Structure 1
């Protein structure tokens, strides 16, 4: 079975193609992507992001087919991100998936963005039943599988960790190329002075907006006076945010009795986060699973993988139900493909 996946919920438009062999192995055939990058100090608006996706999606379809060395007739299902995400980009990509479904006469599968990240991570790393830390620009959740659903044990109650890092990068003028969070990570490696910041763990949930407000005031005061550097602030912010994530992940491990942790989402490619999490997991006699930016950052392959699993269990999205939604919870999805 061959599935093609379309992902465009934020500033990345990605198309992935994979094949599930008769032996059950998932083989990556193509994974191509383009990123909408704005000038330093600016975020990306939904309407402009949608224009970017429309400009690149057809060329990416041709590129993916060429890389995979297949024809549309060989594809079994077309998978697309149904949500959550930014409305205009989601809709623009779903429109292309619908159109190709009609032209190629292939069934559609609407995929939850978070489920795509989880199933991609499980496929690439081989993790069996891990506690999942899903960290990206729009989401922060600690997740564990139980009784046909991915259950959320804790999450951000205001802004996501990736959004916090991105907004701080804009405050101190770091570039958005290749990504603001990546540039924060590089600056943090050179930081020497730790600035104490608020610690926003509330039970199993986390809060980042107060930390962002506090560090912005520090930047306006101490940074201008030369008392700290941008590198120091990036270092302090990363250490604080990631310590919070490690704490709630460890608590979920203890509750479930799991010995595995899988980090997914764009922030999951941060090497420092992986180091801190691995230290905790090893202390508990467990194992950490993580991937690099090819699979952590939004991509079409993750949508193809989750969609292929859904399609194999008989799940198909009828054309009249292919609307997109920004409010599509991870635990709303019935996980029919797992025991």
Structure 2
């Protein structure tokens, strides 16, 4: 079987094509980038997706060597949620149209679960504790009894949102992404200049809004390098702490990092230091598969279709939703 997956839950539009067994035939992406000091609004992001989806689709089909998709594509997968309403609806309309045109099943996919399954595919992780960190989500997850259970999460804003909003404060560019530019600036800092910031871990949950407010208030007192370095060190230490606690609770020996923020080399380095002390392994990916992409949607759609109960959702069931929790998904393709 060959699946075509479309991702568009935020500012990244992706089209991926994956063959049974996890063979990635194509993985195209286009990012909506706004001016420094600004974020991206749902309406503008949806317009971006509608403007670029057809060209991205053609490029992906060309990469995969598919000239007659109606005969070659076995199913369409798309991001049902969570995400921004306008962009999600734009992707869902295209997915429904292609399903009708080509006469193939349509599979709605949970964005968060897709990140996890792509991570397991690319890294070979078997049964890891998962740290999922992105612009809209921050969760510590582990699999148990046919579901991905959330052991800890943010109680206000996501870590990626915190980084993005801080980048606006110091007017960092959004190209290629605010988080990447913060990482590069932080590398220029003197570690001795570390600024003390609020460290907010509440049991297994974390909070970032207070840190953001605090650093905004002191931004004029320090250099951009010092602020970027201090913010990263603080929030990444929080994430490592709750991940280690989940590993201890679940008895896991693997840590899988997924989501756009998981590309950060400093986060990977700090997580590895913790894992080494526990004789555990860190499974990390590069930006091709950490950042939102269509291949992860296609691959997860394949898993769902091939390991479900045989029922294919009707077109009326293939909608989208801004709220779709990771632990709402029945994971039929994993064996306990």
Name the counterpart of 1:225.
Answer: none
Unaligned runs of 5+ in 1: 223-227
Instruction: Please name the residue that 2:22 is paired with.
Output: 26
Residue 262 of structure 1: SS of its match in structure 2?
strand
Cα distance, 1:323 vs. partner?
1.3
Distance 1:39 1:262, change over 3 A: same
Report Cα offsets for 1:41-93 as digits up to 9, x if no partner: 00000000000000000111111000000231111110000000000000001
Q: In structure 2, the residue corresponding to 1:263 is in which secondary structure?
A: strand
Q: Report how far residue 141 of structure 1 moved.
A: 0.1
Residue 179 of structure 1: aligned partner: 177
The residue that corresponds to 1:327 in the other structure is: 323
Matched, 1:308 2:308: no
Runs of 4+ aligned structure 1 residues displaced above 6 Å come to none
Structure 1 vs Structure 2 CA RMSD:
0.7
What is the CA–CA distance in structure 1 between the aligned matches of 2:9 and 2:159, rounded to whole Å? 17
Q: In structure 2, which of residues 28, 31, 38 is the aligned counterpart of residue 35 of structure 1?
A: 31
Distance in 2 (CA, whole Å) between partners of 1:61 and 1:175 is 28
In 1: Cα distance, 2:294 partner to 2:55 partner: 14
1:209-267 superposed Cα distances (whole Å, 9 cap, x missing partner)? 000000000103x1xxxxx2101000000000000000000000000000000000000
Q: Secondary structure at the match of 1:197?
A: coil
CA contact (8 A) 1:246 1:276 kept: yes
- The residue that corresponds to 1:60 in the other structure is 56
Residue 102 of structure 1 aligns with which residue? Answer: 100
Aligned residues: 329
More deviation, 310-319/328-337: 310-319
TM-score (norm 2): 0.97
Once the two structures are superposed, residues 131-150 of structure 1 have per-residue CA deviations (whole angstroms, 9 ceiling, x without a partner) of 00000000000000000000
Give the structure 2 partner of residue 163 of structure 1.
161
Aligned pair in 2 of structure 1 residues 4, 229: CA closer, same or farther (>3 Å)? same
- The whole-number CA distance in structure 1 between the counterparts of 2:322 and 2:273 is 35
Cα deviation, residue 315, structure 1 = 5.3
Corresponding residue number in structure 2 for 1:257: 251
Q: How big is each residue's C-alpha offset from its partner over 1:121-161, in whole Å with a ceiling of 9 and x where there is no partner?
A: 00000000000000000000000000000000000000000
Whether 1:275 aligns to 2:269 is yes
- Give the TM-score taking structure 1 as reference length: 0.96
1:338 aligns with 2:334: yes
Query: For residue 188 of structure 1, what is the aligned residue in structure 2?
Result: 186
Contact 1:109–1:315 under 8 Å retained in 2: no
